[in-house]
Structure 1
Amino acid sequence: MTVRVQSDEFDAGAELNAFTGEVAGAGAIVSFTGVVRDVDGGLTAMEIEHYPAMTERAIAKIVEEAQSRWSLAGALVIHRYGRLETGAQIMMVATASRHRVDAFQAAEFLMDYLKSRAPFWKKELTKDGEAWVEARDEDEDALGRW
């Protein structure tokens, strides 16, 4: 299990290649990379804040839960913080298992958690001002299936 919370950019391809090399015996590797998307054509950037020790511990705990629910050979979570321009990579999740179902389900579980429960505070910056991002019902609903 690897959890990194960082301000620096990352190379998703290099991260996936390194992860793949570490999960001997896996028959399936699933990865997802999230990017900062423009909202209604007005988003210029997003600022993400967190408390370092709390954030890493909370994410590690949920990765441990994923490992207890699914048979995983490995898991990787990278999440960035700081000012991120539209189009920038914001996070990456990779899971590996002997079979694809476990890898897909664990990856979705981790992504749903990161979207709605990870202790990050996000502020959208637009040409008209800024606003903190509030929880969305559909993100909360996604957690309900787990």
Structure 2
Amino acid sequence: MLQISRTLAIPDAELVERFLRADGPGGQHVNRTESAVELRFDVALSPSLPDDVRERLLTRRDRRLTDDGVLVIQGRRFRDQGRNRDDVRERLAEIIRGALVPPKKRVATRPTRASKERRLAGKQQRSRIKQGRGKPGAHE
């Protein structure tokens, strides 16, 4: 059971773990052990997730999310399979915790007169700098 918050938990049956050989340090031992972990969680079909959380997760622009709505997280940070397993589970929990809080609505604001004047003054200054770069007498 992966505990996300006090009210939300994901059963282990919904998590699919696959172990693979990791690259990186480890000497000859790295060629024989499957210490990297690939965790798959089907966001689209998960009965554990509330609908609003599922919608927020599916609308995220995350390259780890497949077209079928499966979140794939790979862990090969550590040389130990158990630590990599804990790492990917914690990363999944953080992603879901981020989707628990609804985003704040953006309040449209207008730029102040002073900020418009500062912007225009900066543009004029930049224009004068660029005009000074030409050949002498060319811009007169």
Provide the TM-score with structure 1 as the length reference: 0.34
Instruction: Report 1 or 2 for greater relative contact order, CA contacts < 8 Å, sequence distance ≥ 6.
Output: 1
Q: Larger Cα Rg: Structure 1 or Structure 2?
A: 2
Higher strand fraction (1 or 2): 1
Provide the TM-score with structure 2 as the length reference: 0.36
